[in-house]
Amino acid sequence: MLSAEALKEIDRAIAKYPADQKQSAVMAALAVAQGEVGWVSPEVMEFVANYLDMPPVWVEEVATFYNMYDTRPVGKYKLAVCTNLPCALSGGERAGDYLKRKLGIDYNETTPCGTFTLKEGECMGACGDAPVMIVNNTRMCSFMSDDKLDALVEELKAEAGAAKGDK
Ligand code: FES
């Protein structure tokens, strides 16, 4: 299911823990698998469970608890807007609503062209920078005014070469 390179990466994570506790690498393994497969499918969870010698339901518990894992397919760019209370009171909800209108989708939906998925994110530890969002779990974006949201979407569209079909 995973490439030799991905397995090596998982093995490196496993090596950080005592030999009888390789299940401690479950978060790293899921991240690697998601990076390669695109999402954490039931097959991915099963594979990770077997690889780490742990019950599949434990893997599922982790995958469904943390919102950085996608247990459903997502678009090329996952935009997670923090709507937890401090951000919600400081423009987070407004930023999310703006993106909904701009992309023509609701939270947990993907644009028809497959370029963007919109998500509500949990606190990202940057409440003072609200509105904040994170792209593909890795790129933090702070103080997201409408202008900055426009610029971000345009940049990502250009990067994807997928402007057609998106608003
Ligand atoms: S509540 Fe949004 S970053 Fe903390």
Phi and psi at 15, nearest 5°, equal: -65, -15
Q: What pLDDT score was predicted for residue 162?
A: 53
129 CA distance to ligand 1 middle (Å): 8
CA of 12 to the centre of ligand 1 (A): 32
Domain coordinates of the chain in residue numbers?
4-65, 77-163
Three-state DSSP class for residue 26: helix
| CATH superfamily ID and name for 77-163 | Glutaredoxin (3.40.30.10)
In the predicted structure, residue 61 carries a pLDDT above the cut 80: yes
Mean pLDDT of 47-62: 97
What CATH number has the domain spanning 4-65?
1.10.10
- Ligand 1 pocket test, pick from 83, 85, 87 with the greatest ligand atom count within 8 Å of Cβ, gives 87
For residues 40 and 33, the answer to whether their CB atoms sit within 8 Å is: yes
Q: Taking 60 as the threshold, does the pLDDT of residue 126 lie above it?
A: yes
Gap between the Cα atoms of 128 and 59, Å rounded: 33
Output the CA–CA distances (angstroms, integers) from residue 35 to 32, 44, 91, 106, in the order listed: 5, 11, 30, 24
Q: Is the pTM of this model over 0.75?
A: yes
Three-class secondary structure of residue 11 per DSSP: helix
Pocket test for ligand 1, best of 67, 81, 123 (most atoms within 8 A of CB): 123
Ligand 1 pocket, residue 82 CB under 6 Å: yes
Condensed to tens digits (0 to 9), the pLDDT of residues 140-162 reads: 999 999 999 999 999 999 999 85
The reply to whether omega before 131 is within 30° of 0 (cis) is yes
Which numbered atom of ligand 1 lies nearest the CA of 126?
Answer: 3
pLDDT at 164: 56
Share of the chain above pLDDT 70, in %: 96
For 62-71, the pLDDT digits (tens) are: 999 998 999 9
117-126 average pLDDT score: 95
Q: How remote is the CA of residue 149 from the centroid of ligand 1, in Å?
A: 17
Ligand 1 atom at minimal distance to the Cα of residue 129 = 3
Given a cut of 90, is residue 167 above it in pLDDT? Answer: no
pLDDT at 4 over 70: yes
